[in-house]
A and B are shown apart, each in its own frame.
Chain A
């Protein structure tokens, strides 16, 4: 009882925000080099893969609160019409419908787990969807272009306890979501990963593409650590299943 009273007096004496911040930082797991330890299996609980913005439910799509700051994607004149046209064709033309690599940032909020393996010079993001492999090279420069990658060229650095990753050299083959939000090959993404508890990463991405948008815009969402015992990233080798089915039905190859 006396101990509880003492604890209470300490609690009252300290400014609440300072105390919770200090407690949080001390509790953060650290990697070998002292940086926040992002190693583990992570997954979004957001519905951003269906639609980055606020959306009501429809058949097969859960309703969701958007992840775009201000809920507005600032398309240039005429570009919103392309987004709407994309949406009308999403059953076949969406990146995920084609089983292609989803690009960045979509890989981070697609509804599949991914594993981060972290070392000082190199961080790998390894996704369940189509064995997505992201190589984040630390403390190095983008190579001279022109280059095109589905996942872009990722260069990371630590700003305090936040991992900042600069990503460019994309293709125009990927969409941001199943709602048809899109970009050009001039897309430039700056991601910020902040471990806010041992089991939560605040993920923010600033998206810039002067061909498509009038200004940079930002998404923000939470990534959750998968805590099930012995959980691991499995496989969703999207494009193989239909190929196998067609082959088994004898529809492919010489008779």
Chain B
């Protein structure tokens, strides 16, 4: 019998890591046209979002200007209505977050980082080689069926469902059944000693923007397949703003004094899936078959190595 579980897991969970990545690339890039520009790197040419170029560094100022002039559809309590199924299509399933020409295993990527302007993660010097080491020696925690953490949930494969209720904003992801519930009731964070893969998120509305503050995170999650990482001191601020009824400007600033020289910011469009799209169940650990294969040449990530 052909089943959803069989199709998805045979695609993503039962194959060697590199093959998975190659297939993920093919699936996630999907409608994206890969254009060859002269002899340079292959750069994904993605359609505009919300009337703005979708490349992060161009989308960011354009979308901010458009959002400032947009009066969004609203929930009965007056908050902007973002209910629905959403696709962070420029993030390429979180394969990479910096400029990347593409390789045998990972697709090309235009950096999602808008600050600093060089589009690179500002690691402290002592961590300069860690991302490469992660790629060479460790399985992406998502590959061993960990949930994404924050902010990676927002730009993980397969998109997210946003559900809004009175004083609550929730994001349910399809990939590995992960979710976040974000109270918007001015409640405080939980005690600092409770650590959660998805952290503790508290939100509030600033005009038409949902601002989410996330703490209580761990160092067990990554930011991309390519191995970008953080410590348990990570503090994430996210901003969700409607640019038009079908486009969200998503901005996230990461602060982590153990690992980063300075706070840095990613920005990207999240676009509404077509009418009727349903975010469904995608089990991961339950039907995992490929971990033994991946473990032949990669290790389980157990948190940031001590230095």
Contact = CB atoms under 8 A, between A and B. Distances in A.
Q: Do A and B assemble together? A: yes
Contact of B3 (A137, A146, A234): A146
A250 B76 CA distance: 54
A233 B75 contact: no
Given A148-B3, A252-B300, A135 B146 contact: no
B129 interface: no
Question: For this complex, into which size category does the number of interface residues on chain A fall?
Answer: 35 or more
Given A122-B83, A133-B178, A237-B147, A99 B1 contact: no
A171 B286 CA distance: 11
Contact of A135 (B197, B198, B279): B279
A221 interface: no
Contacts of A252: 295, 299-300
A37 B168 CA distance: 13
A90 interface: no
Interface in A223-237: 230, 232-235, 237
Contact of B299 (A122, A137, A253): A253
Contacts of B5: 148-150, 171
Given A124-B163, A237-B197, A115 B83 contact: no
A147 B3 contact: yes
A40 B198 CA distance: 19
A184 B114 CA distance: 51
A237 B181 CA distance: 16
B296 A254 contact: yes
Interface stretch (B12-20, B62-70, B186-194, B233-241): B186-194
A220 interface: no
A123 B146 CA distance: 24
A171 B1 CA distance: 12
A130 B286 CA distance: 11
A154 to B, nearest CB: 10
Nearest to B283: A150
Nearest to B281: A149
A117 B82 CA distance: 14
Interface string B1-45: 111111000000000000000000000000000000000000000
Given A32-B75, A133-B178, A254 B3 contact: no
Given A115-B181, A149-B5, A150-B281, A247 B164 contact: no
Interface stretch (A20-28, A52-60, A74-82, A238-246): A238-246
A104 B6 CA distance: 20
A135 B281 contact: yes
B274 interface: no
A118 B168 CA distance: 10
A45 interface: no
Interface string B68-106: 000000011100000100000000000000000000000
A39 interface: yes
Q: Which of A115, A240, A248 has the most CB of B within 10 A?
A: A240
B170 A117 contact: yes
B299 A135 contact: no
Contacts of B279: 135
Contacts of B4: 147-149
A113 B158 CA distance: 26
B242 interface: no
A135 B170 contact: no
Given A133-B172, A149-B5, A254-B299, A230 B163 contact: no
A173 interface: yes
Contact of A247 (B6, B161, B163, B300): B300
A94 to B, nearest CB: 14
Contact of B179 (A39, A119, A124, A247): A124
Interface in A87-142: 98-101, 115, 117-119, 121-124, 126, 130-133, 135, 137
Given A147-B3, A148-B3, A234 B196 contact: yes
B190 A232 contact: yes
A165 interface: no
B181 A151 contact: no
Interface in B128-158: 144-147
A61 interface: no
Contacts of A100: 283, 285-286
A31 interface: yes
Contacts of A150: 5, 281, 283, 286
23 contacts: A31-B166, A101-B281, A117-B181, A119-B163, A119-B165, A122-B83, A124-B172, A126-B181, A131-B198, A135-B279, A135-B280, A135-B281, A148-B1, A148-B6, A149-B4, A149-B5, A150-B5, A173-B286, A230-B188, A230-B190, A237-B147, A243-B300, A246-B300
Interface of B: 1-6, 75-77, 83, 144-147, 161, 163-166, 168, 170, 172-173, 176-179, 181, 183, 187-188, 190, 194, 196-198, 200, 220, 278-281, 283, 285-286, 295-300, 302
Given A32-B165, A133-B177, 13 more contacts: A32-B166, A100-B283, A117-B181, A124-B163, A130-B285, A147-B4, A230-B187, A232-B200, A233-B181, A237-B197, A243-B144, A244-B302, A246-B300
